[in-house]
Amino acid sequence: MPRLIFAIVLKLALLCGLSAMAQEATTPAAPDRSATGGAQTLDDILARQRGEPIDDSFRSMATGDPNSAAAMADQLGTLGGQSDPELWRALRYNSADLRVSAGGEVATVLVQDGGMRWLSVRQRPLRTYGGGLLLVTIGLLAIFFVLRGRVRVDAEKTGRTVTRFAFFERMAHWTLAGSFILLGVTGLLTLFGRVAIQPLLGKEVNSVLLIGSKWIHNSVSWAFMLALIVVFVLWVAHNIPNRLDLVWIRQFGGIVGKKHPPAKKFNAGQKLIFWSVILFGASISVSGLSLLFPFELPLFAKTFTILNDIGLPNWVGYGPLPTDLAPQEEMQLAQLWHAIVAFVLMAIIIAHIYIGTLGMEGAYDAMGTGEVDEAWAHQHHSIWLEEVQEKERAKPQEAGATAAE
Amino acid sequence: MKAMLAGFVLIGAIAVGSDFALDYAGFSAQERNSGAAVRLN
């Protein structure tokens, strides 16, 4: 299973155009280019048009040699050992010795053809599969709601309530939830604005929405990251998996069927949501920080080096992943990773919102007022309810003992 | 409901605060990407 997940993730990464680079190790022997004097042949051009990996070192290495330049007074001496085509190739393959007055090393990259691969992935597969994932999730939940209906509280409500979440817990939850929804909506506007908003409302409206989205996305991200840390600290102890979770999973948590498995403060389903939010949220935060501070926090060359050292790409039949990435390439990969993981988390959160509102009677109260009916608590978190009641019963005894002293 | 509103107010406060703080610390895009010879103000 981990191998399968890794294969899927790697496949997504390779969609970003890394396949050509990752498979260079398996590129077939160079064709005979004697007829063109070493320049590219029709076979090279056709192979590139078919999207096949080609070894283009015959072009990338042909960038002239200033050391063997003719003297200035000699024929072609003014070229400094490098013809115009050779100079352009050096610029094209980022091997020219450039100096810039501003922008640092990043600005010395004048041509970065990986940008076109990033653009095509962002424009087609990312929008199609990402948007499709959200629509399919909503559709499946709608079908499930029609078939299953709302999970009702079986017993008569008692009218007595217990405190499920304290004020601070709920505030942390809503800070995380509100910031995530804002980030999700502004992220979607950024990705789909040109194809969904602009044709309907025009360029001006789309422009205003994008400028606003950028500010909200960049600024609200700090609230998300802070709330993510707070929520982790608050609830991690309650979300350690235990044997009860297996019972809960076997009985589908009472969501499918009529059984109501025992659970502590959080059941297995809630633990799954918790760890998804923490792990995917952390991954989104790290890639987001890399994007917030462009070129300051490159992640992928280091990550690919570690993966290559472990040998993971070989496990799924790929050559080593590229570790020599241009700064712009780092940003492009960070953007794609950020969006892919965000789509997965959005799908999970849509399911979470469904079960917390429409899907289950009484669930919203836990985060709304913080108070839940004892009948609800007994049905969904019976062990937790017993623990709370045990504590409540112990309180008067302790108070009485103190007064007697 | 109060907790929800408090959370939303906190989001706004952190968003505005972080924007001012990063700008003040010199992390604006124009500060980071312009050369020393460029006068920004």
Summarize pLDDT for A101-137 with one digit per residue, the tens.
877 788 889 988 888 999 999 999 999 999 999 999 9
List chain A domain ranges: 117-404
Average pLDDT over residues B14-41: 82
Cβ–Cβ contact B9 with A under 8 A? no
Q: Name the residue among B4, B8, B14 with its Cβ closest to that of A222.
A: B14
Dump pLDDT digits (tens) for A185-221: 999 999 999 999 999 999 999 999 999 999 999 999 9
Q: What are phi and psi of A272, to 5 degrees?
A: -60, -45
Return the structure tokens found at A286. 């790290």
CA distances from A73 to A64, A65, A83, A93, A172 (A): 19, 18, 16, 30, 75
Q: Which residue of A has its CA nearest to B28?
A: A293
Segment of A72-86, A194-208, A237-251 carrying the highest mean pLDDT: A194-208
Cβ–Cβ contact B33 with A under 8 A? yes
Q: Which residues of B touch A223 (CB under 8 A)?
A: 10-11, 14-15
One-letter amino acid of A233: V
A11, pLDDT greater than 80:
no
DSSP category for residue A163: E
Q: Which residue has the higher pLDDT, A397 or A401?
A: A397
CATH number of A117-404: 1.20.950.20
Dump pLDDT digits (tens) for A32-51: 888 888 888 898 889 888 98
Contact B6 A293 (CB under 8 A): no
Task: State the nearest Cα–Cα gap between A401 and chain B, in angstroms.
Answer: 35
User: What is the ipTM score, two decimals?
Assistant: 0.89
Cβ–Cβ contact B38 with A under 8 A? yes
H-run or E-run covering A100: none
Q: Name the residue among A101, A223, A294 with its Cβ closest to that of B14.
A: A223
pLDDT for A5: 46
Residues of A with CB under 8 A from a CB of B: 101-103, 167, 170-179, 182, 215-216, 218-220, 222-223, 226-227, 293-294, 367-370
Alpha-carbon distance of A27 to A24, in angstroms, equals 5
Q: Which residue of B has its CA nearest to A219?
A: B15
Q: Name the residue among A174, A293, A367 with its Cβ closest to that of B8.
A: A174
* Of A199, A196, A171, the residue nearest A185 (C-alpha): A196
Contact A222 B15 (CB under 8 A): yes
Q: Name the residue among B7, B27, B33 with its Cβ closest to that of A174.
A: B7
DSSP category for residue A18: I
Alpha-carbon distance of B22 to A221, in angstroms, equals 13
Structure pTM?
0.84
Alpha-carbon distance of A82 to A177, in angstroms, equals 58
Q: Which residues of A touch B36 (CB under 8 A)?
A: 102
